[in-house]
Amino acid sequence: MGDTVKYTLPEERIPKAWYNIQADLPAPLPPVLHPGTGKPIGPADLAPLFPMALIGQEVSREREIEIPGPVRDIYRQWRPSPLYRARRLERALDTPARIYYKYEGVSPAGSHKPNTAIAQAFYNREEGIKRLATETGAGQWGSSLAFAGALFGISVDVFMVKVSFHQKPYRKALMETYGARCVASPSTETAAGRAVLAADPNSTGSLGIAISEAVEVAAGRADTKYALGSVLNHVLLHQTVIGLEAIEQMKLAGDEPDIVIGCAGGGSNFAGLAFPYLGRKLRGGPDLRVIAVEPAACPSLTRGVYAYDFGDTGHLTPLVKMHTLGAAFMPSAIHAGGLRYHGMAPLVSHVKELGLIEAKAYSQTACFEAGVQFARAEGIVPAPEPTHAVRAAIDEALACKREGRSRAILFNLCGHGHFDMQAYSDFLAGKLKDEAYDADSLKRSLEGLPKVAAE
């Protein structure tokens, strides 16, 4: 089987439990704080927004959390996802590196996001919830929750960041096809949206603003809860099916990754692939390098500060300790809409602080160049977000070539770019600009960080 390209597992090998890295961390996560009291919050504070089962997962220290049967049954629709050996890309790069990618674009919505959308919809339905409100950046998460809502009979309202809403009209059509409602954010439907529009009628929106709108809607209605597509512990937990399967598939390949790479917006696809590997390492297993890759235009891990901050622009969420650019930070309108978030998952931030992972930032043209090179070798057009992981994987493979060393590089190809072709057209026409973040606005945004006594 020397030339195997695709390593697949049968449906029975879909993991039976998610992996919870909180069981293996050398230091616990800092607590989530109530913005009013500055004291750690309890389950009752989160109950208006999330079902109790998910609140329990948020704070659990159990290493394994069983995947409910109905969720595993739906996972069968696309899981286990394939693991590929990028043999044609290796040849194109003329590298001694062994490059592997886990492909999550085979899900119905086109990315890793249904791994948690299905689980979240399931737990909400179990607790009698009829409606979910959410935000979406690239549209991948909104489509995934819309799909999950259709399967569980839950209505879904999606606030889609305005710049992406206009860049990707067919994502809205996909959400509507699944039966969801999708509005451009900032909208006039919420006080948070109206406040942003009053200050800047031309606001292109951000994930932080869209979160405020969705939280406001969920908090105001008893039959409605909020669903988040990234950042929170339970979301990262659900994504660990990716890494758990990859560990088995790398065994089929008779190889072990030296380097694991994922793009990081809120941190969920990155954690989904990396945490099962990090857990093995923390329990005395094989060592490896783990790299989170983010856009230079929204560099929370590489340029942000590790501090308590709000998860949203309107300051409706609790305070979480994370790498942040400040909740007021407005990233430029890059095409990787899913990476335009001012913060980073507390768990990803924590493992970065513990020195367990590295972070890198790339500009968007360097990423699209890698995406095109990948498509021309492997045939799959990556979503703009994972082109960041592709860029880093190619750079590591080129480093192998320079050093004359073979390393195994595994990255998460967490979604396809079939709804993102305008971005590729713009890139191919030479129209894409590299917009670095604005240092002054970052400084101002960081000055607005909440003052927290516990720090």
Ligand X SMILES: Cc1ncc(COP(=O)(O)O)c(C=O)c1O
Residues in the site for ligand X, rule: CB under 6 A? 111, 137-138, 140-141, 230, 263-270, 338-339, 383, 385-386, 414-415
Quote the least distance from Cβ 412 to ligand X, whole Å.
8
Contact yes or no for 380/72 (Cβ under 8 A)? no
Quote the least distance from Cβ 106 to ligand X, whole Å.
13
Phi, psi values for residue 128, rounded to 5°: 80, 15
Quote the least distance from Cβ 36 to ligand X, whole Å.
28
CA distance 225 to 31: 23
Q: Which is nearer to ligand X, 241 or 263 (CB)?
A: 263
Q: Which is nearer to ligand X, 186 or 338 (CB)?
A: 338
Q: Which is nearer to ligand X, 253 or 393 (CB)?
A: 393
For the range 69-72, what are the long-range contacts, defined as Cβ-Cβ under 8 Å and sequence gap of 24 or more? 70/122, 71/118, 71/119, 71/122, 72/14, 72/16
Q: In Å, how far are 138, 225, 266, 360, 432 from 163, measured between CA atoms? A: 9, 25, 18, 25, 15
Please name the residues in contact with 30: beta carbons below 8 A apart, sequence gap of 6 or more: 321, 346, 350, 454
Please name the residues in contact with 360: beta carbons below 8 A apart, sequence gap of 6 or more: 291, 292, 293, 294, 302, 392
Nearest residue to ligand X, by Cβ distance, number only: 338
Quote the least distance from Cβ 162 to ligand X, whole Å.
15
Quote the least distance from Cβ 418 to ligand X, whole Å.
11
Quote the least distance from Cβ 332 to ligand X, whole Å.
17
In 124-278, DSSP assigns E strands to: 131-136, 155-161, 181-185, 224-226, 259-263
Q: Which is nearer to ligand X, 348 or 394 (CB)?
A: 348
392: left (phi over 0), alpha (psi -120 to 50) or beta: alpha
Q: Which is nearer to ligand X, 265 or 326 (CB)?
A: 265
Query: Looking up tokens 């990948």, which residue turns up?
Result: 374
Q: Which is nearer to ligand X, 270 or 275 (CB)?
A: 270
Q: Which is nearer to ligand X, 30 or 415 (CB)?
A: 415
Phi, psi values for residue 323, rounded to 5°: -75, 125
Quote the least distance from Cβ 414 to ligand X, whole Å.
4
Q: Which is nearer to ligand X, 25 or 348 (CB)?
A: 348
Quote the least distance from Cβ 302 to ligand X, whole Å.
15
CA distance 386 to 263: 6
